[in-house]
């Protein structure tokens, strides 16, 4: 219980922003340039019905420039707090949205709770009562035990995109704390067994689970993915075991430290393009009530309206100097204090839009990130498009930024699905997309290759459905992309036909094989390795249920696929030639025995570039490390058996490593179990299959 006598207060300091504890109490600092009246409300608990103290700030004492600040003597961690801010009211002309009837969340909060949060009341005009999101005062020294962010070359990375909640929330996960950071820790042995080097966590910065359209809300659905942020400095309370106690940072740090001990890096999915406050009819959470005119893109002819390049109601004005500094400092915080290894930026093209909405090559935001010394060794990955029509794959500003290569995804889906005449572009994508990245001096590592991600079909659904089936989302199946570039093998959805299911499993292996044989950075969607399905739902953003959760029973039911993926990852990691730092040239480099790559068709050195019906492509990839085997790959995505004449290996004999048409375990074989090909002159490549050969001296039996 707190004393009846109020805590004494003094002027406090404008720096650092947010709430900071020391031996004598706590300092609070808040940015609001045009505020006229500011109050700090202190609560004993996350669900306290009333504040135990309301502190009115005096602008003559508690304001410096545009920061409001106060020091509360004797205040200790564990207290919850909000702000109440008033100011001028001229929304159309200025964009101000001050509303003293709404309690506001500290944008710099290190921990937040949602116990009493009511989005509907926060969206209505007038007082909302004490139903806001609340910040919790934290002071949690942490023993990192020597941990530091991993520094791994990007080209050596294999990314595994993972949803913290859905990874362990299914009862079959058998974790002590399902759906939490702690739950993921329990599954680290599984991640290690896969061989992935980094996990890319869907949003873990605190987001509004209540932010869903009316149709979804009526069905009791919630914002599951987390692309509705409100507190960029706080780990999401829903992924914590005891968030009301302010353990957000400790629980997330425990996960990072445990992953690092396993040699696995942590990439955080960042949503800096919009916030949970939505458009004009959205709730007031923090930024709207503090600096709406600064934080958001507003219509210059009517500043009560939001310019929306995100399809989420608002767009963050990233290149306003105040906003740029806030966001860059946030990233530096997650590296410096949370030890993350990199960031993936959702709808990153918003980051290059100037204050008038037009794209800028020298946009301050991405370049500040590129040149920050704190972020110098982090991995930066852009989803290089936005919902306003800006598409920058191959042209995102900066040099060390990698990009989700949507061009790779699309052409590989079409090729594996059986389209003809694509071999030229397929070759370019497999070789690292030099057409996109080489002209600007970038490298193969700038391309993050993927065929599936959280947004869209899972791998099993990609080979099982040609149309989306999103009825469960409550939007009349109008949400989600229409064009999936998928092929179902002749039957829509689940089937008992063994031939169709066998074909689908083979197609899934083809996708995985091609992905892991491509230059650039491969990204796998969690659950694809065990053929997880969402029943054809390609927009599971609101499905916090078994539709989206990983059913760990799939590990046993689809064990052959799991084995195949593990072995393909291992094959990639033992072949430096698949992780080149420079683009393939097709030339023999100084000191090399042969060209770095040679392209073939069914006959050696005769690639079918001019054949509009071609569905077969082959290549030889030269080893680059001492003792590394050369690779020969044939991709036959036609419906017919093809006989590929093998090029002569430079030394030794070809050994079969992969044949996706073979049943497990013959579909992929490690070096210790491989045997040289009999005859060695040709190989019968089954319909819709991928083969990989490794060259090494034949060992006498």
User: Catalytic site residues?
Assistant: 346, 383
Q: Around 234, how many Cα atoms within 13 Å sit in the side-chain half-sphere?
A: 34
Residue 243's nearest CA partner among 444, 46, 94, 375 is 46
Phi then psi for residue 25, to 5 deg, are 160, -140
Question: Token digits for 247?
Answer: 């353990």
Residue partners of 573: CB distance under 8 A and separation at least 6: 156, 158, 195
Report in angstroms the alpha-carbon separations of 89 from 156, 301, 307.
54, 17, 20
In the numeric block, which tokens belong to residue 661?
């048409």
CA angle centred on 221, ends 455 and 454, rounded to 5°? 15
Determine which helix (DSSP H) or strand (DSSP E) holds 413, and give its type and residue range: helix 406-416
Cβ neighbours of residue 480 closer than 8 Å, sequence gap 6 or more: 456, 468, 470, 473, 537, 538, 539
In 3D, which of 541, 536, 554, 545 has the Cα closest to residue 457?
A: 536
- Which H or E run includes 9? strand 9-10
Q: How many CB atoms lie within 10 A of CB 609?
A: 12
Q: Which residues share a beta bridge with 73?
A: 25
Residues whose CB falls within 8 Å of the CB of residue 541, separated by 6 or more in sequence, listed in order: 223, 224, 225, 227, 473
Binning the chain into helix, strand and coil, the percentages to the nearest 5 are 25, 20, 55
Alpha-carbon distances, residue 482 vs 347, 366, 468, 538 (angstroms): 19, 31, 7, 9
From CA 237, how far away is CA 170, in angstroms rounded?
19
Whole-angstrom Cα Rg for the chain: 27
| Residue 98: alpha-carbon gap to chain centroid | 34
Residue with token string 């110098």: 376
From residue 630, alpha-carbon distances to 581, 600, 646, 658 in Å are: 17, 15, 13, 14
Tokens of residue 376, six digits? 């110098």
**d(C-alpha 399, C-alpha 696), whole Å:** 38
Pairing of strands 67-73, 63-64: antiparallel
Token code pair at residue 496: 């008992």
Q: Which of 230, 23, 268 is nearest to 135 (CA)?
A: 230
Tell which residue, 291, 97, 117, 83, has the closest CA to residue 207: 117
């Amino acid at each position: 219980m707190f004393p009846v006598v109020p805590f004494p207060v003094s002027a406090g300091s404008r720096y650092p922003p947010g709430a900071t504890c020391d031996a004598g109490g706590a300092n609070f600092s808040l940015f609001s340039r045009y505020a006229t009246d500011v109050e700090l409300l202190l609560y004993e608990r996350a669900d306290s019905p009333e504040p135990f103290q309301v502190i009115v700030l005096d602008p003559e004492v508690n304001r410096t420039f545009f920061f409001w600040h106060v020091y509360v003597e004797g205040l200790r961690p564990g207290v919850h707090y909000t702000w109440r801010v008033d100011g001028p009211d001229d929304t159309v002309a200025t964009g101000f949205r001050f509303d003293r009837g709404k309690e506001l969340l500290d944008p710099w909060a290190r921990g937040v709770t949602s116990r009493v949060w009511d989005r509907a009341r926060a969206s209505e005009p007038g007082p909302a009562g004490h139903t806001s999101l609340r910040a919790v005062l934290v002071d949690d020294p942490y023993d990192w035990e020597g941990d530091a962010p991993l520094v791994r070359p990007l080209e050596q990375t294999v990314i595994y995109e993972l949803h913290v909640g859905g990874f362990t929330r299914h009862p079959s996960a058998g974790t002590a704390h399902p759906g939490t950071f702690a739950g993921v820790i329990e599954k680290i042995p599984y991640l290690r067994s896969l061989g992935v080097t980094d996990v890319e966590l869907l949003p873990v910065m605190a987001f509004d689970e209540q932010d869903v359209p009316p149709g979804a809300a009526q069905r009791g659905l919630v914002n599951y993915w987390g692309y509705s942020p409100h507190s960029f400095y706080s780990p999401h309370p829903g992924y914590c075991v005891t968030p009301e106690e302010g353990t957000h940072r400790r629980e997330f740090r425990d996960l990072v430290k445990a992953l690092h001990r396993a040699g696995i890096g942590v990439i955080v999915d960042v949503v800096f393009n919009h916030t949970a406050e939505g458009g004009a009819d959205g709730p007031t959470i923090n930024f709207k009530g503090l600096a709406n005119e600064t934080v958001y893109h507003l219509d210059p002819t009517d500043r009560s309206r939001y310019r929306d390049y995100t399809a989420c109601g608002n767009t963050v004005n990233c290149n306003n100097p105040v906003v740029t500094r806030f966001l860059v400092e946030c990233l530096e915080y997650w590296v410096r204090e949370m030890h993350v290894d990199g960031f993936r930026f959702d709808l990153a093209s918003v980051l290059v839009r100037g204050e008038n909405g037009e794209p800028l090559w020298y946009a301050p935001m991405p370049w500040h990130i590129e040149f920050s010394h704190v972020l110098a060794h982090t991995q930066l990955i852009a989803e290089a498009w936005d919902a306003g029509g800006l598409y920058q794959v191959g042209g995102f500003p900066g040099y060390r930024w990698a990009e989700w290569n949507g061009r790779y995804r699309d052409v590989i889906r079409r090729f594996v699905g059986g389209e003809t005449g694509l071999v030229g572009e397929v070759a370019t994508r497999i070789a690292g997309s030099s057409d996109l990245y080489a002209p600007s001096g970038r490298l193969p590592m700038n391309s993050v290759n993927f065929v599936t991600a959280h947004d869209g079909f899972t791998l099993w659904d990609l080979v099982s459905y040609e149309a989306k089936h999103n009825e469960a989302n409550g939007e009349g199946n109008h949400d989600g992309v229409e064009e999936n570039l998928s092929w179902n093998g002749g039957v829509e959805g689940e089937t008992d036909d063994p031939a169709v299911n066998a074909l689908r499993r083979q197609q899934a292996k083809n996708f995985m094989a091609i992905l892991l044989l491509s230059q650039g950075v491969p990204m796998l969607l969690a659950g694809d390795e065990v053929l997880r399905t969402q029943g054809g739902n390609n927009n599971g953003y609101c499905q916090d249920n078994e539709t989206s959760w990983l059913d760990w029973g799939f590990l046993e039911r689809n064990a052959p696929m799991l084995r195949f993926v593990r072995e393909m990852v291992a094959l990639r990691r033992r072949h430096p030639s698949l992780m080149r730092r420079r683009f393939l040239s097709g030339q023999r480099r100084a000191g090399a025995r042969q060209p770095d790559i040679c392209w073939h068709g069914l006959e050696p050195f005769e690639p079918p570039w001019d054949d509009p019906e071609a569905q077969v492509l082959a290549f030889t990839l030269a080893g680059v490390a001492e003792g590394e085997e050369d690779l020969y790959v044939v991709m036959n995505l036609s419906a017919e058996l093809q006989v590929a004449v093998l090029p002569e290996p430079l030394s030794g004999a070809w050994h079969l490593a992969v044949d996706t048409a073979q049943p497990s375990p013959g579909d992929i074989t490690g070096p210790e179990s491989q045997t040289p090909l009999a005859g060695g002159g040709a190989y019968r490549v089954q319909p819709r299959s991928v083969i990989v050969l490794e060259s090494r001296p034949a060992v006498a039996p």
